[in-house]
Amino acid sequence: MPALLWYRRDLRVDDLPALTAAVAEDSQVLCCFVLDPRLEASSGQRRLQFLGDCLRRLNDDLGGRLLVTRGLPQHRIPQLATEISATAVHVSQDFAPFGRRRDAQVQAALGEIPLVATGSPYLVSPGRVVKDDGSPYRVFTPFFRRWREHGWPRPARSRPEVAHAIDPTTLSGKTAQPVQIPDFGRAELPAGEAAAQEQWKAFVASGLDRYDQDRDLLGRQGVSRMSAYLKFGNIHPRTMAADLRPDSAGAAAYLRQLAFRDFYAAVLHHWPRSSWQNWNSDFDSIQTDTDAEAHRLFARWKAGTTGFPLVDAGMRELLATGFMHNRARMLVSSFLVKDLHLPWQWGARWFLDQLVDGDLANNQHGWQWCAGTGTDASPYFRVFNPTVQGRKFDPDGTYIRRWVAELADVEDPHLVRHGRPPDYPDPIVDHGHERLEALRRYQQLDSLGE
């Protein structure tokens, strides 16, 4: 009873419900990954590098029995299923707009062979946490309460026997069309299931209990750095949730972040247009700048040469590593939308191009939170002051000094008490003036709705 396991955002072997379902009743399983040229074209280089490393590690974990092929899934998956006479194609369910359309096309092409979805990349799959009347939540806090009440299963610690995996070299080369795992270049972050588990164990041992106190402090190693592993499914969040003690304030704060991940996935599931359009359509008429000057300012923002130390530190960390601390993400997003008055979509697209952990649901709705256009959003008139944010969340300037070379040796990297070094740029805008301009645009929008 052969089956086909189609890997997507679940690049691991342990605690993988789709794999467990595929090997039920001693089925032989062909494990495959389809390199979709559409996703290759839309993914940033760092994310492709991490993907390539993940596939190499997964192939090792499967004893060299991962078939990697390239093409459109609606063509390749039915061909492979027919080649091995598969009784079913097993997947982890995908809830993103592109994934849902792709899977519908694959199922139509499979005909009578079922596409069986078991499990998902979330603690609670989108669509399961709803109000009593069945409608989706629009605000996080009540979602969070119901989400905790719903609960989730404990991880399946047993590791399915990889001997069930079919050796892809036994297939017809013409049908299988195997390709070498592409070398997109090596990722800076160690990839794969073992690396994810090692990173998580290290964070639980040394950082979890202080997470609620340290998570916003930019100069400390107070965050878990698990976002890329979750993005690519090197670890399931329920594996992580099992280590979160109920008596720990740090663990409670971390669980809340996992809930936000599920919430944003649910928002995208229920409102797929929110991937690139304002979730709150009342903001569709907000005035944004898109002229030549706007593009010049955007280029300065991307390069981390705005003249605002904390903004520049965040943007340079992103350029150097493909990662940015979440507190810095909030600040640079607010700066782009409310100090530079640029469309949030510009920044969201740049983040997806640069971030290793670029995830559509988290990224787009995090940006909309900062822009004030999304669910549970910060009011548009809340404008972060970059200097105040810096002194609050990087009080000794450790983070700024690390990423802004021009300020590495200055006494006051916030540039409040002392002058500006000659090799560091002047501010590209006046924050006080642009804050008032943001308020004016908000008030103008508000008056239009009256």
The answer to whether the annotation marks 376 as part of a ligand binding site is: no
The residues facing 4 across adjacent strands are 30, 89
Percent helix, strand, coil in the chain (nearest 5)?
50, 5, 40
- Report CA 264 to chain centroid distance, whole Å: 10
* Distance (Å) of CA 6 to CA 16, 68, 115, 229, 393: 12, 10, 10, 19, 43
The answer to whether the annotation marks 261 as part of a ligand binding site is: yes
* Distance (Å) of CA 189 to CA 77, 216, 227, 355: 30, 22, 11, 12
Q: What is the DSSP string of 105-127?
A: HHHHHHTTS-EEE---SSSS-TT
Is residue 4 a contact partner of residue 86, using CB atoms and an 8 Å limit?
yes
The answer to whether the annotation marks 359 as part of a ligand binding site is: yes
The answer to whether the annotation marks 111 as part of a ligand binding site is: no
User: What sign results for the dihedral spanned by CA atoms 183, 188, 190, 192?
Assistant: negative
Q: 346: how many CB neighbours lie within 10 A of its CB?
A: 20
Is residue 104 a contact partner of residue 116, using CB atoms and an 8 Å limit?
no
In the numeric block, which tokens belong to residue 437?
A: 């301009």
HSE-CB at 355 with a 13 A cutoff on CA atoms is: 25
The answer to whether the annotation marks 273 as part of a ligand binding site is: no
Helix/strand/coil (H, E, C) string of 163-190? HHECCHHHCCHHHHCECCCCCCCCCCCC
The answer to whether the annotation marks 146 as part of a ligand binding site is: no
The answer to whether the annotation marks 284 as part of a ligand binding site is: no
The answer to whether the annotation marks 353 as part of a ligand binding site is: no
The answer to whether the annotation marks 229 as part of a ligand binding site is: no
Q: How far apart are CA 258 and CA 93, in angstroms?
A: 18
Give me Rg for the CA atoms of the chain: 23
- Count each helix (H run) and each strand (E run) in the chain, helices first: 20, 5
Strand 29-35 vs strand 66-70: parallel, antiparallel, or unpaired? parallel
The answer to whether the annotation marks 307 as part of a ligand binding site is: no
Q: How far apart are CA 248 and CA 263, in angstroms?
A: 22
The answer to whether the annotation marks 183 as part of a ligand binding site is: no
Q: How far apart are CA 393 and CA 397, in angstroms?
A: 9
The answer to whether the annotation marks 244 as part of a ligand binding site is: no
CA angle 188, 190, 195 (to 5 degrees): 165
Q: Which of 437, 414, 432 is nearest to 424 (CA)?
A: 414
The answer to whether the annotation marks 264 as part of a ligand binding site is: yes
Strand 89-91 vs strand 66-70: parallel, antiparallel, or unpaired? unpaired
Annotated binding-site residues for FAD read 211, 254, 257-264, 357-359
Residue ranges at the known binding site = 211, 254, 257-264, 357-359
